[in-house]
Amino acid sequence: MVESFDVAIIGAGMAGASLAAECAPHARVLLVEAEDTPGYHTTGRSAAFWEETYGGPGVFPLTMASGRFLREGGYLSPRGALNIGQAKDRDKVEAFVETFSALGATLHLQGRAALLDRVPGLRDDWVVGAWEPECADIDVAGLHQHYLAAAKRTGTVLRVRARVDRIERDGIGWRIAWHGGEARCAMLANAAGAWADAVAVQAGAAPVGINPLRRTIVQLRTAPVPADDLPLTLGINEDFYFKPQGGRLWLSPHDEIPDVAGDAAPEELDVAIAIDRFEKVVDWKIAALERRWAGLRSFAPDRLPVYGFDAHMDGLFWFAGQGGFGIQTAPAAARLGAQLLLGLPRDDLTDGIDATVYAPDRFAE
């Protein structure tokens, strides 16, 4: 017997799980995941933080709308972020502060003394910065499990080890199939992350140009041991960031290397670049390189998320292209996605967010 659903969501990472949780109280939902466990790829490899400026002005409304939900749910731990630059970057740092302060973010311009107070051992040529006191670490696993549990509690059916190999029209709806199973659905939601364009093509739609970019992270043992209150420290030119984690340091070269959808792995060159950049920021000693990993961050051509029905394929809904900001925007994005998908009214979480800027039809020819 082939089960029937109102909505089938492909992908059970943060995007798919959160969308399922928001849709399930109003519809019968199927959540289909190719891997053995949800969140194996990008969601499970994130060094995520909630930062007001992350993702740029176009993402800012989603970030700010999500902040209250994350705080009240206990998913945020205070961290603070320090965007630092050299003398040549002063104008850039000042413009950064001005742009986001005008939007409503909390930022403070910092001089050399303030930077050194927050990041001991900072080398002499780092002289200007922007302090973001509201930045916080995100309990990614806790948030993902919250959404999976909420989805299950409201009736969502989860299928794992179910890589979709066939999508076809079935009357006015869809039939999807995977090894050992199939289902019918009225609407198909594409929350497949790095695989989003491939899923669209399977469904007979045109891709929108979502590209997976590899991001490398390494875990270092350093001397001194990073203090628990060390801020997330980022280069204003987006060429590194680091933060403490359990007495160790997590470091990234802030790389965006074009890759293919799959099980991303770090390259030795990217690891070496990360360490070289770090050594030019602080005078700390690296005692050991303990771990390294990589994840894929998937972006549409304009680097904004893609939320809404396909411009030409009835019943195909896009919920993808969330880059590295998908976790920090999950609460508002998922609520907005469910409202667009099911025709639900806006509420206090999404009121004021202009969904048209995220619509797939901006890429339609």
Residue after which a domain boundary falls, among 299, 325, 344: 299
Phi and psi angles of residue 210, each rounded to the nearest 5 degrees, phi first: -80, 120
Q: Which of 56, 13, 62, 31 is nearest to 195 (CA)?
A: 13
Same domain, 177 and 267: no
Q: What is the pLDDT of residues 233-270, one digit of tens each?
A: 999 999 999 999 999 999 999 999 999 998 889 999 99
Residue 36 pLDDT: 85
Would you place residue 47 in the very low, low, confident or very high pLDDT band (cuts 50, 70, 90)? low
User: What gap in Å lies between CA 334 and CA 96, rounded to an integer?
Assistant: 28
Same domain, 239 and 263: yes
User: What gap in Å lies between CA 120 and CA 81, rounded to an integer?
Assistant: 15
CA 267, 268, 272 angle in degrees (round to 5)? 120
Same domain, 316 and 282: no
Q: Is residue 76 part of a domain?
A: no
User: What gap in Å lies between CA 166 and CA 307, rounded to an integer?
Assistant: 23
Residue 41 pLDDT: 54
User: What gap in Å lies between CA 311 and CA 223, rounded to an integer?
Assistant: 54
Q: Which of 244, 212, 250, 249 is nearest to 228 (CA)?
A: 244
Q: Which of 181, 362, 211 is nearest to 299 (CA)?
A: 211
Same domain, 88 and 105: yes
Same domain, 232 and 295: yes
CATH for 255: 3.30.9.10
CA 47 centroid distance within chain: 10
Count of structural domains, the chain = 2
Q: What is the pLDDT of residues 112-157, one digit of tens each?
A: 999 999 999 999 999 999 999 999 999 999 999 999 999 999 999 9
For residue 3, give the H/E element and its range: strand 3-10
Q: Is residue 104 part of a domain?
A: yes
Query: If you average pLDDT over residues 73-90, what whole number do you get?
Result: 97
Residue 263 pLDDT: 87
Residue after which a domain boundary falls, among 261, 278, 299: 299
Q: Tell whether the model's pLDDT for residue 45 goes beyond 80.
A: no
* Mean per-residue pLDDT over the chain, rounded: 95
Q: Tell whether the model's pLDDT for residue 44 goes beyond 60.
A: no
User: What gap in Å lies between CA 204 and CA 219, rounded to an integer?
Assistant: 42
Range of the domain at 328: 3-44+140-208+304-363
Angle, helices 330-342 vs 14-23, to 10°: value is 50
Query: If you average pLDDT over residues 330-350, what whole number do you get?
Result: 98
